[in-house]
Chains A and B, each alone.
Chain A
Amino acid sequence: MKKRLLPVTLITALTAAFLAGCGSSAQQSAAGGSTAAASSAATQDASATQDASSTQADASAPEGGDGKTIKIGAYGPITGGSAVYGEGAQNAIAMAVEEINDGDSGYKVEIVNGGKIVDDGGDAKQAINAYNSLMKEGPSAIVGSFFSSVTLPVAEQASKDNMLLLATGATNKDVTLKGSTIFRNCFIDPYQGKMAAQFAKEKGWTKAAVIYAKDDDYSNGLKDAFIENAEANGIEVVYVGECTTKDTDFSSQTSQVVAKGADFLFYPAFLDTVPLLVGAARDAGFDGAVMGGDGWDGTDTAGFEDNFENCYFTNHYSSEDTAPAVVNFVSKYTEKYGTESLNACAALYYDAIYMLVEAAKNSGASDTVSLVNGMTGMTFTGVGGTFTMDENGDPEKSVAINTFEGGKVKWLMTLSPEGTKE
């Protein structure tokens, strides 16, 4: 008996060891921002990006600033699965700085770390390191990051340090609640869920199903907001299914979606599992609309072109929008860097730099306190539209709704809380 038990115990122990090993290795690589963990990091920390933190070298700064130079530090995902966001952010910041410094606003911008974004690898631990390294250079403001899970700990720290943090893509509603010096220029999770429900109502869909990743804050935030607003909009939520960010099989959940007779499926998740979910939904015989949030931006639709018909997602902006600020940004960016990294992240970092300049203009100085004062309650027009900062430091802005045509993302409409702008 003893002899037989031994291999059994051994196998169990090894399985446990293997599982534990997997877990820790994933964490380590994610922490290191290595490309290995890119996909998992992208899934889990989808909202981390670079912050261009703008530090203003004010009159009292040791650098001998003149109160007209805004010293900004930026961090974001330069490596890892979301590196394309970081690339866009880096280009957009360089573009914004060049424009501002050549312009006649009366203010100059200096990006610390030699104009480079500090890498957060899409990971919270690395983001804190990035933040600390930026703080050593004495910026007046810090910009970033694109992912909520990465920004949350940084916001906590920035609030303690009384540092102005302007988050870009971090949509989790808790980010700006960390302190009065924390702002963002993107909409918040509940807002995307609300707008998705509003869009569904406008389209006349009445029976909604939701599949969400329960191990992800972003997904939970959008799901809760969608369900709350769907009911308020007279849309019946017929099915709510869970999955995890690591799942590849959605056949059971999508079978239930079909069985419950839904005509609209909301899947707030990050890009890497989106093709699998959409494929599984179509395989299960679901021909209704599938919709997601800004996490869908950049989804690889190769081989799924047909499946992505009748799919939609909300985003911060659309490069096809006809507003002058968007047209100007898109044409300049495309000319300089091509369209490969022209994403929402780039637009948000670009706006962030301009917002800090606007804040300096409003308050007449470029130190952190003046920037915070200038930022509070300001109205700004940029690539992300025209918006006003509310008491939490969140903008009230419209969302772009995109759809797919032959696998390519296409702008459908811009939806504001008051109504539709075609």
Chain B
Amino acid sequence: MTFSLFFQSLINGLNQGAIYALIALGYTMVYGIIRMINFAHGDFIMIGAYTLFYTIPMMIHAGMPAWISVFLAVVICAAVGVLVEVIAYKPVRRAGSMSALITALAMSLFLENLAMVLFGAKPHNVQKIFDLPSVNVLGVALPLNVILTIGIGVVMMACLQIFIKSTKIGKAMRAVPQDRDASILAGINVNKVITMTFAIGSALAAVAALMYCAKYPRVTNDMGSMMGLKAFIAAVLGGIGVIPGAMLGGILVGLIEIYVKLFAPGWYEAITYGILIVILLVKPSGILGKNVGEKV
């Protein structure tokens, strides 16, 4: 492998990995707080991508810069996330984890099929938000929008980390899974915190949609299912429930996929899923996961 090929694949892998990481964050935040795997999370990206698809031409038509669409996508995704939580997940929260999981699967299928009815099944090309040229670094053509999206991903992850570590609501988010009853005693509105978690997770999905569309400018109603699944693998790989774990897992899955594809393109999915199984066998809690006993 020549250096330029290695370097280009590194950038491609980081780009792919940053997308997975942002999606994985949504899975891990929700799992961390209510021990529920929100399978509909992948479909929030689809909603974000459709929002971009419809609003970018509107913005350009109205003479406004195209990046305003990103904020619209964030708002719409957050609203959908909150709506899904309040309408579908909250009522079954006390019914046990199995009911919650089935509800999440149903929600995922519902959103995909709703999107099909509303937007049709034909794939659409999303207009470019950033029209940036490629630069030549060390003999490798690097599209600047790829660099920019990696940058956005890193900034989002850093902001999230600061938010969780140092704001009051962030602290509440960490407190609730540790001891829900004690959190209530300490004056934390648990329902509000959970809703907030969904809002943030879904907003990150909108950013992931932006990054996805910058690299693969195509939306379909089922785009979220495979991507969501891979991001879920990333979350488990890094240690589900652990925020830095989701980032590490996402980047790792992205890099593994791209490098495996370089030499054995037919094998990359088998290898990606194989890694999930191996990690679960060797370290059931994931790379950064802690072996905390379940509270009774």
Residues in chain A within 8 A of chain B (CB atoms): 3-5, 7-8, 10-12, 14-15, 17-19, 21-22, 25-26, 34-40, 80-81, 214, 241-244, 246, 248-249, 251-253, 255-256, 259, 272, 275-276, 279, 283-285, 300-304
Q: B293 an interface residue at 8 Å Cβ cutoff? A: yes
B125 touches A302 (CB 8 A): yes
Residues of B within 8 A of A15 (CB): 229, 232, 276
How far is it, in angstroms, between the C-alpha of A259 and the C-alpha of B5 when the chains are bound?
7
Quote the shortest CB–CB distance from A40 to chain B (angstroms): 7
Of the 9-residue stretches B82-90, B161-169, B190-198, B260-268, which lies at the interface with chain A? B260-268
A-B pairs with beta carbons under 8 Å apart, 29 shown: A3-B294, A4-B285, A7-B294, A8-B284, A11-B236, A14-B101, A15-B232, A18-B229, A19-B229, A36-B113, A38-B122, A39-B222, A40-B222, A81-B122, A241-B265, A243-B265, A249-B16, A249-B216, A249-B258, A251-B8, A252-B258, A252-B261, A255-B8, A276-B216, A283-B146, A284-B141, A285-B141, A302-B125, A304-B217
Which listed residue, A5, A38, A249, A256, touches B284 by the CB 8 Å rule? A5
Which listed residue, A4, A18, A244, A252, touches B39 by the CB 8 Å rule? A18
Known: A252-B262, A302-B125. A12 touches B280 (CB 8 A): yes
How far is it, in angstroms, between the C-alpha of A196 and the C-alpha of B284 when the chains are bound?
51
Q: Is the interface of A mostly helix, strand, loop or mixed?
A: helix
B125 touches A303 (CB 8 A): yes
Residues of A within 8 A of B37 (CB): 11, 14
How far is it, in angstroms, between the C-alpha of A275 and the C-alpha of B213 when the chains are bound?
13
Provide the B232-263 mask, 1 if CB < 8 A to any CB of A, else 0: 10001000100000000000000001110110
B116 touches A35 (CB 8 A): yes
Known: A4-B284, A8-B284, A252-B12. A214 touches B266 (CB 8 A): yes
- B residues 272-289 near A (Cβ < 8 Å) are 276-277, 280, 284-285
Q: Is the interface of B mostly helix, strand, loop or mixed?
A: helix
Residues of A within 8 A of B276 (CB): 15
B123 touches A303 (CB 8 A): no
Residues of B within 8 A of A275 (CB): 125, 217-218
Q: Add 12 more A-B contacts to A17-B105, A22-B226, A284-B141 (CB < 8 A).
A: A4-B284, A4-B294, A5-B284, A18-B105, A22-B225, A36-B112, A36-B113, A251-B8, A275-B218, A300-B125, A301-B125, A304-B217
Residues of B within 8 A of A10 (CB): 97
Q: B121 an interface residue at 8 Å Cβ cutoff? A: yes
Quote the shortest CB–CB distance from B43 to chain A (angstroms): 12
Q: Using CB atoms, name the residue of chain A closest to B285.
A: A4
How far is it, in angstroms, between the C-alpha of A79 and the C-alpha of B151 when the chains are bound?
42
Q: B107 an interface residue at 8 Å Cβ cutoff? A: no
How far is it, in angstroms, between the C-alpha of A10 and the C-alpha of B294 when the chains are bound?
14
Which listed residue, A4, A21, A25, touches B293 by the CB 8 Å rule? A4
Residues of A within 8 A of B101 (CB): 14
Provide the B171-215 mask, 1 if CB < 8 A to any CB of A, else 0: 000000000000000000000000000000000000000000001
How far is it, in angstroms, between the C-alpha of A106 and the C-alpha of B225 when the chains are bound?
57
Q: Using CB atoms, name the residue of chain A closest to B98.
A: A10
Of the 9-residue stretches B69-77, B126-134, B152-160, which lies at the interface with chain A? B126-134
Residues in chain B within 8 A of chain A (CB atoms): 2, 4-5, 8-9, 12, 15-16, 37, 39, 97, 101, 105, 109, 112-113, 116, 120-128, 134, 140-141, 143, 146, 215-218, 220-223, 225-226, 229, 232, 236, 240, 257-259, 261-262, 265-266, 269, 276-277, 280, 284-285, 291, 293-294
How far is it, in angstroms, between the C-alpha of A303 and the C-alpha of B124 when the chains are bound?
10
Q: Using CB atoms, name the residue of chain B closest to A8.
A: B284
Q: Using CB atoms, name the residue of chain B closest to A301.
A: B125
How far is it, in angstroms, between the C-alpha of A249 and the C-alpha of B247 when the chains are bound?
20
A253 touches B265 (CB 8 A): yes
Residues of B within 8 A of A272 (CB): 123, 218, 220
Residues of A within 8 A of B215 (CB): 249
The 6 nearest A-B residue pairs measured at CB: A285-B141, A38-B121, A252-B261, A35-B121, A251-B12, A242-B266
A283 touches B143 (CB 8 A): yes
Known: A246-B226, A276-B216. A81 touches B121 (CB 8 A): yes
Which listed residue, A4, A8, A12, A36, touches B116 by the CB 8 Å rule? A36
Quote the shortest CB–CB distance from A213 to chain B (angstroms): 10
B105 touches A259 (CB 8 A): no
How far is it, in angstroms, between the C-alpha of A37 and the C-alpha of B262 when the chains are bound?
30
B141 touches A249 (CB 8 A): no
Quote the shortest CB–CB distance from A11 to chain B (angstroms): 7
Which listed residue, B2, B127, B258, touches A303 by the CB 8 Å rule? B127
Q: Using CB atoms, name the residue of chain A closest to B140.
A: A285
Q: Using CB atoms, name the residue of chain A closest to B127.
A: A303
Which listed residue, B4, B116, B141, B261, touches A283 by the CB 8 Å rule? B141
Quote the shortest CB–CB distance from A183 to chain B (angstroms): 32
Which listed residue, B116, B121, B216, touches A248 by the CB 8 Å rule? B216
Which listed residue, B97, B105, B217, B257, touches A279 by the CB 8 Å rule? B217
Which listed residue, B12, B122, B240, B266, touches A39 by the CB 8 Å rule? B122
Quote the shortest CB–CB distance from B19 to chain A (angstroms): 10
B9 touches A255 (CB 8 A): yes
B128 touches A285 (CB 8 A): no
How far is it, in angstroms, between the C-alpha of A81 and the C-alpha of B8 when the chains are bound?
34
Residues of B within 8 A of A253 (CB): 261, 265
Known: A22-B225, A81-B121, A259-B5. A242 touches B294 (CB 8 A): no
Quote the shortest CB–CB distance from B157 to chain A (angstroms): 21
Residues of A within 8 A of B220 (CB): 39, 272
Residues of B within 8 A of A35 (CB): 116, 120-121
How far is it, in angstroms, between the C-alpha of A276 and the C-alpha of B112 when the chains are bound?
22
How far is it, in angstroms, between the C-alpha of A40 and the C-alpha of B143 when the chains are bound?
29
Residues of A within 8 A of B217 (CB): 275-276, 279, 303-304
Quote the shortest CB–CB distance from A61 to chain B (angstroms): 40
B262 touches A256 (CB 8 A): yes
